[in-house]
Amino acid sequence: VSPAKRTTTPTLEEVAAAAGVSRSTASRVVNGSHLVSESVRAAVSAAIEQLNYTPNRAARSLANRQTMAIALVVPEDTTRVFADPYFAAITQGISRVLAETDYVLTLHLGASEKTQRYLRTGNVDGALVVSHHSGDHGLADLGGTLPVVFGGRPIDSASVTSYYVDVDNAAAAGAGTRHLIESGRTRIATIAGPADMPAAIDRFRGWTAEIEGAGLDAARVTRGDFSMSSGVRAMRALLAAWPDIDAVFVASDLMALGALSVLREQGIRVPTDVAIVGFDDIAAAAEPDTQLTTVHQPSLEMGEEMTRRLLRLLRGEAIEHAHIMETTVVVRRTA
Amino acid sequence: VSPAKRTTTPTLEEVAAAAGVSRSTASRVVNGSHLVSESVRAAVSAAIEQLNYTPNRAARSLANRQTMAIALVVPEDTTRVFADPYFAAITQGISRVLAETDYVLTLHLGASEKTQRYLRTGNVDGALVVSHHSGDHGLADLGGTLPVVFGGRPIDSASVTSYYVDVDNAAAAGAGTRHLIESGRTRIATIAGPADMPAAIDRFRGWTAEIEGAGLDAARVTRGDFSMSSGVRAMRALLAAWPDIDAVFVASDLMALGALSVLREQGIRVPTDVAIVGFDDIAAAAEPDTQLTTVHQPSLEMGEEMTRRLLRLLRGEAIEHAHIMETTVVVRRTA
DNA sequence: CTGAAAGCGCTTACAG
DNA sequence: CTGAAAGCGCTTACAG
């Protein structure tokens, strides 16, 4: 049978036969075992190459109880969340590090009964859960069932025992706010995020602490839902309630973009009249026409780090429960 | 062993024992075979329930040569594409119909050698490929290896034999342009998409045909890359080159949003001075502060339809190669 | 360092 | 309608 003609995938058995060794030995070289002589390794490698052999995943999983699959679960399945650049970047990071391994990624939008059962019943070796919202739909104790690392601090009771990577949202928001204070602004407002999201809560706390610490008035507050249009509404509301504001710390770049469009529309100069600091540093923030000053959050790297940590957990290594990544204030044109 | 205490998953063997039947019979009821008596079915079902049995996927795949997995591949892996609301909606649709089946979705960003090999060596039962760009990185003949349905017409040679769902981009763009013409506009520009993307090419063609058909001037053209910031740049360019324009058909909502912000900034009234029609109908288009008139494309439904079609292919049913979905012009405030 | 053998948990002809 | 048996393609003690 010429390799070009065969339609069915070659098996380990055939590789072994071609190399003149046993199936066990062929298996050992496929798996990089050290107890194989150099000559045998070469022969088997040649056979693998020649037959274009790829191990059958199902057979492998069945035999060694590893699936070589890891799940990416996004508990909330609204389009808004999924289209979030932050989420896109995290997924990118996850995909990037997984690409260098033999693991495959399964995608789960929502945390349905079916998904939970899938996760708990040995179909994946581990899970990555990315969620902005607090309501983790019963995913809290998932970590007790299989290795899990969360993107963002989980708000639930199990958080002390869960693994997660995050930034220090309060400190980061504080730094962004401080930039405004240090540049002489005194009537600094904030457009906060949803009151039920840990990241939003922490950023708001960071802003408040910094404002009060500077002896300024922390009353100029409004909220959005992290979307651009909510930023538009929030900015209008802010302007209506406190026409005197000279700066605003916005809890997400998308909302900041919305806020900027309102200021532009109303002919309010940025940063001369009102300075704006965002949060995230999405790609759009760096655009020549935007040049948004913002708190940089390493989203893609967070995805990479989550994945690397999960991989370590899968190798049986011990890691700390929390991994906090660095943020920086990126000063551009709006503040 | 009480079911509550056991840590290992029960096997079919155990279910069979508990029900007092053979493994074969237990397997038959798990798989809904008709050749099982009612009483036996009941007994096995009870055992399954009681033991909380879930079939082992690996064992099942190995035995019946089905993986019950389908791949979602996004050939280009830039953050920009992945954060695209259109893509997010499609994925949502895919996920939604798959949720009602036993299939799981694997996610592949980029079309690396590794991914291609994965797809071609029997690790999934079928694939869904979503791509805006033409350069499908060798995915063209993927359909010869396993069932595949594309989101968007593939531009490559294999397209006549591939399955895809799409909209009639030329006709849809024509309809959007016609809306502008019929409302009395005469100096109608367009912000087109990338010259290497089938959807962009077709939309531009649709605009051109309609403009020329009405005896108008089809010279007012500029291009973006479908991103909001490119819309900003394109709108500025348009205004600089042809200050007389009274309308613009924009090939994507994201670009239209950018264009609108420029008009707002320059104090140009919409739609009084310049009317705008977008394409996609993303969530942001319907926002109270935007109210963008646009060509609605059923993105989520396209994802659903792609998936349903792939499922049919997997069942061995015959389907047409192309499935074209309806678009409509949604008239809001900008035109 | 290498091989024979058992086993992973299912499905599916084949008989009956 | 039901069961015994073979087989899916691997891995992994166990001997040697």
Three-class DSSP labels, chain A: CCCCCCCCCCCHHHHHHHHCCCHHHHHHHHCCCCCCCHHHHHHHHHHHHHHCCCCCHHHHHHHHCCCCEEEEEECCCCHHHHCCHHHHHHHHHHHHHHCCCCCEEEEEECCCHHHHHHHHCCCCCEEEEECCCCCCCCCHHHHHCCCEEEECCCCCHHHHHCEEEEECHHHHHHHHHHHHHHCCCCCEEEEECCCCCHHHHHHHHHHHHHHHHCCCCCCCEEECCCCHHHHHHHHHHHHHHCCCCCEEEECCHHHHHHHHHHHHHCCCCCCCCCEEEEEECCHHHHCCCCCCEEEECCHHHHHHHHHHHHHHHHCCCCCCCEEEECCEEECCCCC
The average confidence (pLDDT) of chain A is 90
Write the single-letter amino acid at B133. Answer: H
The whole-number pLDDT of residue B34 equals 83
The whole-number pLDDT of residue A284 equals 84
The whole-number pLDDT of residue B260 equals 93
Chain B: residue whose CA lies nearest to A88:
B83
- Tokens standing for B104? 């799981």
The whole-number pLDDT of residue B1 equals 34
Q: Is the pLDDT of residue B297 over 90?
A: yes
- Residue B232's contacts (CB-CB under 8 Å, 6 or more residues apart) are A287, A289, B258, B259, B261, B262
The per-residue pLDDT for range B304-329, each reduced to its tens digit, is 999 999 999 999 999 999 999 999 99
Torsion of CA A8, A12, A16, A17, to 10 degrees: -30
The whole-number pLDDT of residue B87 equals 85
User: Residue A2: pLDDT band by 50, 70, 90 thresholds?
Assistant: very low
The whole-number pLDDT of residue B5 equals 41
User: Residue B160: pLDDT band by 50, 70, 90 thresholds?
Assistant: low
Q: Is the pLDDT of residue B146 over 70?
A: yes
- Residue B10's contacts (CB-CB under 8 Å, 6 or more residues apart) are B3, B51, B52, B53
**Contact at CB, B122 and A84, closer than 8 angstroms:** no
The whole-number pLDDT of residue B18 equals 92
Report the distance separating Cα B145 and Cα B147, nearest Å.
7
Query: Stated in angstroms, how far is A62 CA from C9 C1'?
Result: 7
Q: Does residue A23 reach within 7 angstroms of strand D, measured from its CB?
A: yes
Going from the C-alpha of A128 to that of each of A108, A135, A196, B93, B239, the distances in angstroms are 10, 16, 21, 22, 47
Q: Which of B95, B106, B283 sits opposite A80 (nearest CB)?
A: B283
Report the distance separating Cα A177 and Cα A192, nearest Å.
13
Q: What mean pLDDT is predicted for residues B226-244?
A: 93
The whole-number pLDDT of residue A136 equals 61
The whole-number pLDDT of residue B156 equals 66
* Closest nucleotide to the alpha carbon of A25, via C1': C2
Give buried/exposed letters for A108-143 (b at 16+ CB in 10 A, else e): bbbbeeebbebbbbbbbbbbbbbbbbbebeebbebb
The average confidence (pLDDT) of chain B is 90
Give chain B positions within 8 Å (CB) of A52: none
Beta strands B148-151 and B126-130 are parallel
Q: Is the pLDDT of residue A96 over 60?
A: yes
Q: Does residue B31 reach within 7 angstroms of strand C, measured from its CB?
A: yes
Going from the C-alpha of A288 to that of each of A38, A283, A284, A334, B229, the distances in angstroms are 58, 11, 9, 12, 8
The whole-number pLDDT of residue B4 equals 39
Helix (H, G, I), strand (E, B), or coil: what is residue B147?
Answer: coil
Report the distance separating Cα A257 and Cα A253, nearest Å.
6
Q: Which of A54, A83, A289 sits opposite B85 (nearest CB)?
A: A83
Write the single-letter amino acid at B127. Answer: A
Q: Which of A77, A95, A261 sits opposite B109 (nearest CB)?
A: A95
B87 closest CA partner among B99, B76, B98: B76
Report the distance separating Cα B279 and Cα B334, nearest Å.
13
> How large a percentage of chain A has pLDDT more than 70?
92
The whole-number pLDDT of residue A1 equals 34
**Contact at CB, A99 and B106, closer than 8 angstroms:** no
- Residue A233's contacts (CB-CB under 8 Å, 6 or more residues apart) are A224, A258, B288, B289
On whether the pTM is more than 0.85, the answer is: yes
The whole-number pLDDT of residue A102 equals 92
Q: Does residue A42 reach within 7 angstroms of strand D, measured from its CB?
A: no
Whether the ω angle into residue B147 lies within 30 degrees of 0, i.e. cis, is no
The whole-number pLDDT of residue A3 equals 40
Distance of CA B235 to the CA centre of its chain: 28
* Cα three-residue angle A282-A285-A291, rounded to 5 degrees: 160
Side-by-side strand order, sheet with B328-330: B221-223, B188-192, B247-250, B275-280, B293-296, B328-330
Going from the C-alpha of B265 to that of each of A1, A216, A289, B268, B270, the distances in angstroms are 71, 32, 12, 8, 11
User: Residue A77: pLDDT band by 50, 70, 90 thresholds?
Assistant: low
- Residue B100's contacts (CB-CB under 8 Å, 6 or more residues apart) are none
Of A4-18, A225-239, B263-277, the poorest mean pLDDT is in A4-18
Residues 43-62 of A near strand C (Cβ < 7 Å)? 59, 62
Q: Does residue B60 reach within 7 angstroms of strand C, measured from its CB?
A: yes
- Tokens standing for B149? 């349905």
The per-residue pLDDT for range B101-135, each reduced to its tens digit, is 999 999 999 888 889 999 999 999 999 998 766 65
The whole-number pLDDT of residue A28 equals 93
Q: In this structure, are residues A2 and A10 in contact, taking their beta carbons and an 8 Å threshold?
A: no
Question: For chain B, what is the radius of gyration of the CA atoms?
Answer: 26
Q: In this structure, are residues B185 and B247 in contact, taking their beta carbons and an 8 Å threshold?
A: yes
Report the distance separating Cα B247 and Cα A1, nearest Å.
66
Side-by-side strand order, sheet with B104-109: A322-325, A163-167, A148-151, A126-130, A69-74, A104-109, B104-109, B69-74, B126-130, B148-151, B163-167, B322-325
Q: Is the pLDDT of residue A5 over 50?
A: no
Q: Is the pLDDT of residue B3 over 50?
A: no
Q: Is the pLDDT of residue A286 over 70?
A: yes
Give the mutation candidate from B82, B84, B304 for the A interface (greatest A CB count, under 10 A): B82
Report the distance separating Cα A7 and Cα A233, nearest Å.
60
The whole-number pLDDT of residue B283 equals 84
The whole-number pLDDT of residue A223 equals 96
Q: Is the pLDDT of residue A86 over 50?
A: yes
Q: Tell me the CB-side half-sphere exposure of residue A283, using CA atoms within 13 A.
A: 18
Q: Which of A105, A121, A289 sits opposite B9 (nearest CB)?
A: A121
- For residues A131 and A180, which has the higher predicted lDDT (pLDDT)? A180
The per-residue pLDDT for range B21-57, each reduced to its tens digit, is 999 999 999 998 888 888 899 999 999 999 999 999 9
The whole-number pLDDT of residue A153 equals 83
Chain A: residue whose CA lies nearest to B228:
A284
Give the mutation candidate from A9, A66, A92 for the B interface (greatest B CB count, under 10 A): A92
Query: Stated in angstroms, how far is B63 CA from D10 C1'?
Result: 13
